[in-house]
Structure 1
Amino acid sequence: MGPVAVRVAVVDDDELIRVGLRAIIDAAGDLGVVAEAGSGADVPDLVARYRPDVVLMDVRMPGIDGIRATELLLASSAEPPRVLVITTFENDEYVYAALRAGASGFLLKRSRPAEVVEAIRVVARGESLVFPAAIRRLAGAYAGPGGDRLRGAGLTDREAEVLRLVAAGRSNAEIAEELVLGVETVKTHVGNVLAKLNARDRTQAVIAAYESGFVTPG
């Protein structure tokens, strides 16, 4: 395989799943699988050796599962890759825990090939897969007392308004239109929100908003 724009690692204890994902990813042209693993325990070494941009991480694995593997990965690397959780069931406590641990989004194993490819491209760009309805359901079922990260964050009224719209799944362009602002101004506000919340991406900001009660599942 020649050079590709986005380097991907696939971590799943099911070999058939790994083979299927590799075939989908390698066929995309701009994406390529550079490493595979069948256990979460192998993730830190795999990332250090192969330097993937995105890790597709099965959330349920024996031994070290995708949640703990995500935590280890983010703790062991100064510039960790994006983590995209792959799961069978959307409404799964493991999925929410993985998002809390730092995953940028999740992908259902029944997703169509085009959806898999686009999801990888989205997180590779530094964006996040925020599914407002799904995260709302997950937060309603599994959100715990995560502390009020927003209380001491010092968000301005405008930044708080932007965060509510991010939690509702709005894109920067949609937020700009709704608030009658320029897209670049919205990008600045989003960047400020992430910095103040110490959030790696939009998904982590949304999780913080739910955990703090700033937005509610209802």
Structure 2
Amino acid sequence: MGESETATIVKVGMVDDHPSPVWGVDRILQSQADLRFVCSAATVDDLLRKSSDLDVVILDLRLNDGTTPRENVERLAGLGIETVIYTSGEHPDLLRSAARAGTLGVVLKSASEEEIVRAVRAAGAGQEVLTTEWAAAIDGDPNLAGVDLSPQLQRVLTLYASGGTSASVGHELGVAADTVNEYLKRIRQKYADAGRPTRTKIDLFKRAVEDGWLPMPHRSRRS
């Protein structure tokens, strides 16, 4: 269908806990008749409180509220909202976890205005945002499909890898410590089957970060 006065408008939101990138993207999209910048917020929760009537969300890779790219992408996808990761290009593990969750691509914060507009249009049409950075994130991950964990196994992994014991995790989940140990055996086996062994508790923590179940530990540098 050609462009016309009845052409679909892509409604865009942005999640970033720094104002400068938001101002920049808002200004870029203002001149595009088919793209409408609706709202922004520092967290996905705050954004959705403002509006869930969005087609695309431009999502900062690392947020200060402790949420992971994976959970943010999955939450928005559950509402039918596509995402594009907006980042300086660091933290490939986090990019890959976002890829596993279904984000359509990544745009660097150093990208040109034309690249940003192209990315939003592509995402609005449900198409992958094809960039060198996105290809590198995907090609660099031989296990892009990741390890499929049930919600219960995800919870066990995050609690245990965060420093819990079998007893404390069992108390949190209302199950016996022996049951937690059985869950951990299942988790370790799934990772072993994927060629990503977890011999130690630190290995479990690394896998939880790689797959987006836990946030990457904060450093002084931003995304």
Name the TM-score class by shorter chain. Answer: 0.5 to 0.7
Q: How many residues in Structure 1 have an aligned counterpart in Structure 2?
A: 141
Question: Residues 15-34 of structure 1: matches in 2 within 5 Å?
Answer: 15-34=19-38
TM-score normalised by length of structure 1: 0.57
Matched, 1:70 2:76: no
Q: Given that residues 7 and 52 in structure 1 are in contact (C-alpha distance below 8 angstroms), is that contact kept between their aligned partners in structure 2?
A: yes
Work out the CA distance in 2 between the residues paired with 1:47 and 1:94: 26
Given that residues 90 and 108 in structure 1 are in contact (C-alpha distance below 8 angstroms), is that contact kept between their aligned partners in structure 2? no
Q: Distance in 2 between matches of 1:55 and 1:130?
A: 17
Given the alignment of the two structures, is residue 42 of structure 1 paired with residue 43 of structure 2, yes or no? no
Q: Which of residues 29, 52, 55 is equivalent to 2:54?
A: 52
- The whole-number CA distance in structure 2 between the counterparts of 1:114 and 1:143 is 29
Cα distance between partner residues in 1 of 2:89 and 2:37: 24
Unaligned runs of 5+ in 1: 148-211, 214-218
Tell me if the contact between 1:14 and 1:38 (Cα under 8 Å) persists in the aligned partners: yes
Q: How far did 1:81 drift?
A: 1.5
Q: How does 1:103-142 map to 2 (within 5 A)?
A: 103-131=103-131, 133-140=135-142
Correspondence 1:83-162 to 2 at 5 A? 83-89=83-89, 92-131=92-131, 133-140=135-142, 143=144, 145-146=146-147
- For residues 73-126 of structure 1, give each alpha carbon's deviation from its aligned partner in whole angstroms, at most 9, with x where no partner exists: 223x2xx11111111115621111111112111111100000000111111112
Kindly report the root-mean-square deviation, in angstroms, between the aligned alpha carbons of the 2 structures: 2.6
CA distance in 1, matches of 2:102, 2:51: 16
Match of 1:139, SS state, is coil
Q: Distance in 1 between matches of 2:103 and 2:30?
A: 22
Corresponding letter in the other structure for 2:147: G
Whether contact under 8 Å (1:59, 1:67) holds in the other structure is no
Amino acid at match of 1:66: P
Paired residue secondary structure (1:84): strand
- Where 2:129 maps in the other structure, the secondary structure is coil
Which structure is larger by alpha-carbon Rg, 1 or 2? Answer: 2
Distance (whole Å) between structure 1 residues aligned to residue 18 and residue 49 of structure 2: 20
> CA distance change for structure 1 residues 8 and 136 in 2, over 3 Å: closer, same or farther?
closer
Instruction: Confirm whether residue 82 of structure 1 aligns to residue 85 of structure 2.
Output: no
The superposition leaves residues 37-67 of structure 1 with CA deviations (integer Å, 9 ceiling, x where unpaired) of: 112332443442xx11111011100112433
Please say if residues 15 and 60 of structure 2, whose CA atoms lie closer than 8 Å, have aligned partners that are also in contact. yes
Q: 2:18 matched to 1:14? A: yes
Aligned-partner Cα distance in 1 for 2:146–2:54:
33
| Residues 133, 6 of structure 1: alpha-carbon distance in 2 compared, 3 angstrom cutoff | closer
Secondary structure in 1 matching 2:64: coil
Give ranges in structure 2 of 5+ residues lacking alignment.
1-5, 149-193, 196-223
TM-score by length of 2: 0.56
